[in-house]
Amino acid sequence: MKRIVLIIIVFLVSTIILTAGEKIYGELGVNLLLPSDSNYKEIYGNSVMMPDVEIGYVINEKISVYGGLGYISKRGTTVGELKVDTKTARSYLDFGIVCGIYNSNKLSIKIKSGISYIMSKEEAMEEEVSSNTLGFRGELEGNYSINKNIFTGLKIGYIYGKDRVEDMDIKLGGVKIGLLLGYRF
């Protein structure tokens, strides 16, 4: 069943890209996420690498819509007397709108905002704790066009998400700083 769903999604995305002309773009990014949860930072460190992929559709010169996926996976060790190995994995599924605030032949500056569906899982001592919650994402992005189709850029933003797991409030976002490489189809 998963294979059929994946085939349908690939078919639909391919059809949209092939028929949309220059209205579709894709971005691959590598980001540094600075987590906002202090307990998370104690176990996994003050920063986590987060690759992401984004696809967007240009509505007009100033407005686009996008969908994206970011992923984190990291191992850590609990603090205190009992040192326990832990593992975390988080996925950020984002949908939103892009507003262009400056655009020239080579340089563009955009503001992105949207919702982020955050799926989190942590494993320690053969136990697994999962969380799924809805959050928000805001981002400022600056792009430089290398040619008509290829562009690169810098982005800085914030992901906000929180949940309550086993009587404990957890923050699932933080400051995000990244580099990207994009392609206009």
Per-residue pLDDT tens digits for 101-115: 998 889 999 999 999
Each as own residue / partner, the long-range contacts of residues 9-17 (CB below 8 Å, 24 or more positions apart, any chain) are 13/55, 16/57, 17/185
Tell which residue, 153, 180, 173, has the closest CA to residue 48: 173
Burial bucket for residue 8 (CB in 10 Å: 0-12, 13-18, 19+): exposed
Domain boundaries, the chain: 23-184
At residue 135, what is the residue type? G
Average pLDDT over residues 123-135: 89
Calculate what percentage of the chain has a pLDDT beyond 70: 89
Q: Sorting pLDDT into bands at 50, 70 and 90, what band is 19? A: low
Angstrom distance (rounded) from CA 56 to CA 64: 7
Question: Lowest mean pLDDT: which of 9-18, 53-62, 102-111, 157-166?
Answer: 9-18
Domain 23-184: give its CATH code: 2.40.160.20
Angstrom distance (rounded) from CA 19 to CA 70: 26
Per-residue pLDDT tens digits for 34-62: 999 998 898 899 999 999 999 998 988 89
pLDDT, the chain, mean = 89
pLDDT at 27: 96
DSSP string, 51-119: EEEEEEEE-SSSEEEEEEEEEEEEEEE--SSS--EEEEEEEEEEEEEEEEEEE-SSEEEEEEEEEEEEE
